[in-house]
Amino acid sequence: MNDGSHVTAMTPVFPGSVDAAGQPATLGVMGGGQLGRMFVHAAQRLGYFTAVLDPDAQSPAGRVSHHHIQTGYDDPAGLVQLAHLCQAITTEFENVPALALQTLAQTRPVAPGAAVVGIAQNRIEEKAHFAACAAVSGVSCAPYAVIETPAQLQAVQAERSDLLPGILKTARMGYDGKGQVRVKTAGELAAAWAELGGVACVLEKMLPLTAECSVLVARGWDGRVVSFAPQRNVHVNGILAVTHAYDGNMPSALATRAREAAVAVAHHLGYVGVLCVEFFVVDDGSEHGGLVVNEMAPRPHNSGHYTLDACDVSQFDLQVHAMAGLPLPQPRQHSPAIMLNLLGDVWFAASGQQQDPDWYSVLRLPGTHLHLYGKVQARAGRKMGHLTITGPDVASVKTVAQQAAGLLGLPGLDAI
CATH of the domain at 165: 3.30.1490.20
pLDDT, tens only, 138-186: 899 999 999 999 999 999 999 999 999 999 999 987 665 678 899 999 9
Q: What is the mean pLDDT of residues 89-110?
A: 94
Which of 7-11, 117-121, 357-361 bottoms out in mean pLDDT, i.e. has the lowest? 7-11
Of 72, 174, 168, 73, the C-alpha closest to 122 is 174
Residue 4 has pLDDT above 50, yes or no: no
pLDDT, tens only, 111-135: 999 999 999 999 999 999 999 988 8
Residue 176 marked as a ligand binder: yes
Percentage of residues of the chain with pLDDT beyond 70: 96
Residue 47 has pLDDT above 90, yes or no: yes
Residue 294 marked as a ligand binder: yes
Q: Do 225 and 358 fall into the same domain?
A: yes
Q: What's the confidence (pLDDT) of residue 204?
A: 95
HSE-up of residue 324 (Cα within 13 Å, Cβ side): 29
Q: Are strands 67-69 and 144-147 parallel, antiparallel or unpaired?
A: unpaired
Q: Do 256 and 175 fall into the same domain?
A: no
Element holding 258 (H helix, E strand): helix 252-269
Q: How confident is the model at residue 287 (pLDDT cuts 50, 70, 90)?
A: low
Contact 5, 110 (CB under 8 A): yes
Count the Cβ atoms, other than its own, within 10 Å of residue 202. Answer: 24
Backbone angles phi, psi at 367, to 5 degrees: 75, 20
Does the residue 20 lie in any domain? Answer: no
Residue 75 has pLDDT above 90, yes or no: yes
Residue 295 marked as a ligand binder: yes
What are all long-range contacts of 72-79, with beta carbons under 8 Å and residues at least 24 apart? Answer: 73/30, 73/31, 73/97, 73/100, 74/99, 74/100, 76/103, 78/53, 79/53, 79/103, 79/104
Q: Do 175 and 238 fall into the same domain?
A: no
First to last CA, the chain: 40
Q: How confident is the model at residue 79 (pLDDT cuts 50, 70, 90)?
A: very high
Residue 387 marked as a ligand binder: no
Of 118, 121, 110, the C-alpha closest to 5 is 110
Q: Do 164 and 185 fall into the same domain?
A: yes
Residue 180 marked as a ligand binder: yes
Residue 206 marked as a ligand binder: yes
Q: Is the peptide bond before 112 cis (omega within 30 degrees of 0)?
A: yes
pLDDT, tens only, 211-227: 999 999 999 999 999 99
Q: Do 150 and 221 fall into the same domain?
A: no
Does the residue 125 lie in any domain? Answer: no
Of 232, 1, 219, 235, the C-alpha closest to 128 is 1
Residue 92 marked as a ligand binder: no
Q: Do 253 and 392 fall into the same domain?
A: yes
Q: What is the mean pLDDT of residues 263-275?
A: 96
Q: Do 318 and 340 fall into the same domain?
A: yes
Residue 123 marked as a ligand binder: yes
Which of 59-63, 379-383, 395-399 bottoms out in mean pLDDT, i.e. has the lowest? 379-383
Does the residue 83 lie in any domain? Answer: yes
| Domains in the chain, number | 3
CATH of the domain at 364: 3.30.470.20
Residue 174 marked as a ligand binder: yes
User: For the whole model, what pTM was predicted?
Assistant: 0.94
Contact 263, 277 (CB under 8 A): no
Q: Do 216 and 193 fall into the same domain?
A: no
Residue 169 marked as a ligand binder: yes
Q: Do 221 and 367 fall into the same domain?
A: yes
Residue 212 marked as a ligand binder: yes
Q: Do 252 and 309 fall into the same domain?
A: yes
Q: Would you list the DSSP string of 281-326?
A: EE--SSSS-EEEEEEEESS--GGGTTHHHHBSS-HHHHHHHHHHT-
CATH of the domain at 77: 3.40.50.20
Instruction: Determine the structural domain holding residue 159 and report its residue range.
Output: 143-205
Q: Do 268 and 353 fall into the same domain?
A: yes
